[in-house]
Structure formats: C-alpha cells, structure tokens
Amino acid sequence: MISIMVDKPTIKKDRLRGLGLISGGLDSLTACLLIKQQGIEVIGLNFKSPFCQYESRFDIFHEKLEIKIYCLSLGDDFLDIIRNPKFGYGRNLNPCVDCRIYILKKAKEFMKKIKADFIFTGEVLNQRPKSQHMKALKIVEKESGLEGKLLRPLSALHLKPTFYEEEGLIDRSKLMGIKGRSRKVQLDLAKEHGLLEEYFACGGCLLTDINFSNRMRDSLKFNNALKIGDMNILKYGRHFRFKNSKIIVGRNEIENNLLLQLKKPNDLIMEVQDVPGPITIIQDELNEEILKYAASLTLRYSDLEESKGKVVYGKDYQNLSKEIFSEIENDEILKKYILSFYILNIMELS
Ligand code: SF4
C-alpha cells in the first residue's frame, strides 16, 4: 500500500515564533498581548504607507511587551491595486480587501526571512464594514495564501480554528471572541496589564478621505508612471489641475518647506519676488499659458497688495533665474480649475 505524505510544517511548541501585523494601535497591541501570554515569541511587522496618518504607539510594544518591530514600505505595485482593485473600493478610493491581501502576501514572504511560524493580526470581526465582515475575512485569508493559517486572536472564537489551534500549538481557550466596533474589551485588557491608561485614536487612512481621494484620482488619471513616493506631495498645499499641468501652492511656511523637499527634479518652483508668499510647484506639462496661470495663483496667495507683480521661477530653488509678470486673475477663474477636482479648496478660496 502506498502511503501519501502530507506536507505539514514541523513546528516545535516551545520555540514558536509569531509575526504580528502591527499598526501601532490598541487592536494590534492586545493581539500581541494574547500571543505573548501563551509564552510565544512575537515579532512585529509594520507597513509604512504615505496614506496612513497613524499615531502609532510603538513605544508600548517595545517597552512593555518587549516586541521588536520591523518596518516595510508599500511598493509601487500598491498603486496598481488602487487603480484596479479586484474586490472593489470602500466609500472612497480605499481598496480595503485588496490592501489586506497585499499586506499579508508581503508579510508571508517576510515570515520566511525571519523564520517565523505563523502570522497574526489585530483584526476584529465586524469592526470595519468593508474589510472585516466574515466574508471579507475569509476572502483575505484565501487570497493571501494563508487559508487556515491566519490567526486573528481577538476574534478567534468566532472563526474556524486555524492549523495552529488544531495542532495544539496555540491554546484556543486563551484567545478571544470579540466582534463589532467597540474597543471596550481591548481597552480593559490593556489597562488590566498596565499597557495603557486610556484609549488613543490611531488615526486613519487617507484613501478613505473624499478630498484626498479626489487628488489621488486626478494623479492616477494624468500620470501613468506614478511611484508610491509621489503620493506624499498630495497631502500638502492647494492643488489645481490646469489643462495637463498640476499646480500646487503652499499654504504656509511649513508646507512651503515640505513642497520644496517633496518636489521632483523636473518640477518647476515659483515664488513672488521680494514679497512673502507661497512656494508654487508646477508638475507635468509646461507652456506659456500654464506659467501665466501658475504665476497668477502665486501672486493671489501672496501678501502682494497690488493686482499685478513679478514672480521668479526655475528648477533650482537657489537659482530661480527666470521671471514673469502677471496679473491676479479673479477668483471665479481660479475656482474654475479647483472645482473640477478639489472640493476642499473651494472653502479655502472664499
Ligand atoms: S483603510 Fe486604508 S490601510 Fe486600511 S485596509 Fe483600507 S486601504 Fe488599507
């Protein structure tokens, strides 16, 4: 009789190592706690993203749970997911199910590198309408190639046992059955173990924001060669799409400095000569008409008291050697080019 060998990983319980996906918030913190309480070594993995405005509390993970956290960055391939998500978008441009799959696939590769035995997350059943209902959790698990092997310690008791629970490597009776949006159980647990005194909001993802999504859609439409790093500049300044050109005007000194740091080598820099005002960045196409419009915007947001003035421009901020005289267009004309894409900025003009 021929016996068939089943390919099962051989894992020793006393040397089990879990890789936890860590946003830095309360859910991932308590998920790590539950795994650590079983005497299992935990390594953390955080994904850096230009879209995340997380206020992470990595200090608690380091200091109180003694967890080492590695950071990976989203790759340019994440933009393909935003362009064309297999499982669709949430309310705005957030492709949550595809995003989870993407991250877990990367975590799976990373798990091999650090010789971890399993992956766990701080996901909670029904906490998020788009990506954490039962069907979505199953899709994410299957599509990431982690079927039966993705542990969600906070909601485990509502889910089918994983391979690790079935094999007795992880004690299911010490996992939890949390579901829904309330964070009360997690907070109580964190308080009980001296990890936190009070809840802190972990921030959010810009892809769920309508105004940022509008900026993002515009960039995707006009630029096929986007890089993930190009997304950072979308967070700062007033954005205008004039013909095929993108014009970004700083709102204050901090944004002016950021725009100078984030601009690409071929972008043009413009400012009003001898008058305090914005840094303006001009991207993509360039011609006389675009320069004139950008100059008008730059003058409009400066401290200039007259209706016309001189701006200087160039690619090197230390050497803005070209100049152009322009008049400030009336706000009706300026609004026209914002209205097409950026609702937020209409308020700023008035
Ligand atoms: S909210 Fe943003 S970071 Fe979170 S799953 Fe959705 S797309 Fe990904």
- Nearest atom in ligand 1 to the alpha carbon of residue 208 is 1
Please work out whether the CB of residue 94 comes within 6 Å of at least one atom of ligand 1: yes
Residue 250, helix vs strand vs coil: coil
- What are the tens digits of pLDDT across the range 25-75? 899 999 999 999 999 999 999 999 999 876 678 999 999 999 999 999 999
Residue whose CB lies within 8 A of the most ligand 1 atoms, among 23, 51, 202, for a mutation test: 51
pLDDT of residue 340: 43
pTM of the predicted protein model: 0.89
Residue 337 in this model has a pLDDT that exceeds 90 = no
- Nearest atom in ligand 1 to the alpha carbon of residue 206 is 2
pLDDT of residue 14: 74
Residue 266 in this model has a pLDDT that exceeds 50 = yes
Sheet with 17-21: list strands edge to edge.
Answer: 68-73, 41-48, 17-21, 118-120, 150-151
- What are the tens digits of pLDDT across the range 75-133? 999 999 999 999 999 999 999 999 999 999 999 999 999 999 999 999 999 998 778 99
Residues 6+ apart with CB under 8 A from 60: 29, 195, 196
pLDDT of residue 343: 40
> Which DSSP state fits 268?
E
Instruction: Decide the pairing of beta strands 308-314 and 322-327.
Output: antiparallel
Residue whose CB lies within 8 A of the most ligand 1 atoms, among 73, 131, 143, for a mutation test: 131
Contact 127, 28 (CB under 8 A): no
- pLDDT more than 90, % of the chain: 77
- Nearest atom in ligand 1 to the alpha carbon of residue 103 is 8
Please work out whether the CB of residue 127 comes within 6 Å of at least one atom of ligand 1: no
Residue 2 in this model has a pLDDT that exceeds 50 = no
Minimal-distance CA residue to ligand 1 atom 5: 96
Residues 6+ apart with CB under 8 A from 332: none
pLDDT of residue 185: 96
Instruction: Decide the pairing of beta strands 41-48 and 17-21.
Output: parallel
Query: 134: CA distance to ligand 1 center in Å?
Result: 17
Minimal-distance CA residue to ligand 1 atom 3: 205
Please work out whether the CB of residue 296 comes within 6 Å of at least one atom of ligand 1: no
Q: How confident is the model at residue 12 (pLDDT cuts 50, 70, 90)?
A: confident
| Structure tokens belonging to residue 266 | 């071929």
Helical residues (DSSP H) of 84-233, grouped into ranges: 96-113, 134-143, 163-166, 184-192, 210-222
Please work out whether the CB of residue 99 comes within 6 Å of at least one atom of ligand 1: yes
pLDDT of residue 24: 86
- pLDDT more than 70, % of the chain: 92
Residue 210 or 34, more confident? 34
Query: 308: CA distance to ligand 1 center in Å?
Result: 45
Q: What is the rounded CA–CA span in Å between residue 188 and residue 121?
A: 19
- What are the tens digits of pLDDT across the range 136-147? 999 999 999 999
Least confident window among 61-70, 188-197, 202-211: 202-211
Minimal-distance CA residue to ligand 1 atom 1: 205
pLDDT of residue 10: 65
